[in-house]
A and B are shown apart, each in its own frame.
Chain A
Amino acid sequence: MNTELLGIVATFLLTLAIAIPLGKYLAKVFAGEKVWTDFLKPFESGIYRLSGINPKEEMNWKQHLKALLTINLVWLVYGFFVLIYQDKLPWNPDGNPGMSPDLSFNSIISFVVNCNLQHYSGETGVSYLSQHYVMMFLQFVSCATGIAAAVVLFKAFRDKTTTKLGNFWDFFVKSITRLLLPLSLVMALILTFNGTPSSYEGKDQFISLQGDTVNVSRGPAAAFIAIKHLGTNGGGWFGANSAHPLENPNYFTAMVELIAQVIIPIAMVIAFGFFIRRKKLAWTIFGVMTIGMLLLLIPTLSSELGGNPAIAKMGISQATGAMEGKEVRFGPAISAYWSTVTTIISTGSVNSMHDSSMPLTGAWQLLGMMINSFYGGCGVGILNYFIYLIIAVFISGLMVGRTPEFLGHKVEAREIKIAAIITLLSPFLILTGTAIATYTFNNYGDANWAVQPQNWLNNPGSHGFSEMLYEVTSSNANNGSGFEGLGDNNTFWNVLTGIILLLGRFLPIIGPIAIAGLLGAKKFIPESAGTLKTDTKTFALMTFAVIIVLNALSYFPALTLGPLAEYFTALSR
Chain B
Amino acid sequence: MKKYIIQSIRLTLVLIVLLCVLYPLSIALAGKLSAGKGGGEKITKNGKVVGYALLGQSFTKPEYFWGRPSAVGYNAAGSAGSNKGPSNEDYLKGVSNRIDTLLKYNPTIKRSDIPADMVTASGSGLDPNISEQGAIIQIKRIAAIRKIDERKIAELVIKNTQGPFLGMFGPSSVNVLKLNIALDEIK
Q: How far is the CB of B87 from chain A (nearest CB, A)?
A: 3
A26 to B6, CA, bound (A): 29
Contacting A at CB under 8 A, from B113-159, are: 113-117, 119-131, 134
Task: Give the chain B neighbours of A472 by CB distance below 8 A.
Answer: none
- B27/A189 in contact, CB under 8 A: yes
Residue pair A192, B27 in contact (C-beta under 8 Å): yes
By the criterion CB–CB under 8 Å, are A243 and B124 in contact?
Answer: yes
- If A133-B20, A209-B177 touch, whether A199 touches B37 (CB-CB below 8 Å) is yes
- Contact present for A66 and B1 (CB under 8 Å): yes
B116 touches A307 (CB 8 A): yes
Most B C-beta atoms less than 10 A away, residue of A212, A216, A217, A460: A216
Interface 1/0 per residue, A379-409 and B, CB below 8 Å: 0000000000000000000000000000000
Cβ contact of A74, chosen from B12, B76, B122, B125, cutoff 8 A: B12
Contact stretch, chosen from A347-355, A369-377, A432-440: A347-355
Is B32 in contact with A7, judged by CB distance below 8 angstroms?
Answer: no
- Contact of A207 with B1 at beta-carbon distance under 8 Å, contacts A195-B35, A239-B78, A245-B55 already known: no
Does the CB pair A195–B169 fall under 8 Å? no
Q: Which of B36, B52, B86, B126 lies at the interface centre, i.e. has the most chain A CB atoms within 10 A of its CB? A: B86
Give the docked Cα–Cα distance between A172 and B24 (Å): 21
Assess whether A520 is interfacial by the CB under 8 Å rule. Answer: no
Q: B38 within 8 Å of A by Cβ?
A: yes
Asked if A353 contacts B11 (CB within 8 A), the reply is: no
| Contact (A320, B117) CB under 8 Å given A140-B15, A198-B30, A483-B83 | yes
- Nearest chain B CB to A188 CB, angstrom units: 5
Q: Which of A31-39, A321-329, A528-536, A538-546 contacts B (4 or more CB under 8 A)?
A: A321-329
How far does the alpha carbon of A198 sit from the alpha carbon of B114 in the complex, in Å?
38
Question: Is A58 in contact with chain B by the CB < 8 A criterion?
Answer: no
Query: Known contacts A181-B19, A209-B45: does B170 contact A330 (CB below 8 Å)?
Result: yes
Which residues of A49-103 have CB atoms within 8 Å of chain B's CB atoms? Answer: 50-53, 66-67, 70-71, 73-75, 78
Q: Are A485 and B84 in contact (CB under 8 A)?
A: yes
Q: Judging by beta carbons under 8 Å apart, are A355 and B40 in contact?
A: no
How far apart are A308's CB and chain B's nearest CB, in angstroms?
5
**Interface status of A141 (Cβ within 8 A of chain B):** yes
- Tell me the complex Cα distance, A136–B177, Å: 33
- Considering the chains assembled together, what is the distance between the CA atoms of A140 and B20 in angstroms? 10
| Interface Cβ pair total, 8 Å cutoff | 374
Q: Does any Cβ of B come within 8 Å of A252's Cβ? A: yes
Of A121, A324, A358, which one neighbours B121 at CB under 8 angstroms?
A324
In the complex, 22 of the A-B residue pairs with CB atoms within 8 angstroms, ordered by the A residue number, are A4-B171, A74-B9, A121-B80, A124-B78, A189-B30, A198-B28, A198-B34, A206-B51, A214-B74, A217-B78, A218-B39, A218-B40, A220-B24, A223-B27, A239-B79, A240-B79, A251-B171, A308-B86, A314-B95, A316-B99, A328-B130, A463-B88
A residues apposed to B, CB below 8 Å? 3-4, 6-7, 10, 47, 50-53, 66-67, 70-71, 73-75, 78, 121, 123-124, 132-133, 136-137, 140-141, 169, 173, 176, 181, 184-185, 188-189, 192-193, 195, 197-201, 203-204, 206-210, 212, 214-218, 220, 222-224, 238-240, 243-246, 249-252, 254-255, 307-308, 310-311, 314-331, 334, 350-353, 355-359, 458-461, 463, 466, 483-485, 566, 570-571
Of all A-B residue pairs in the complex, the 4 with the closest CB atoms, nearest first, are: A243-B123, A198-B31, A570-B87, A485-B83
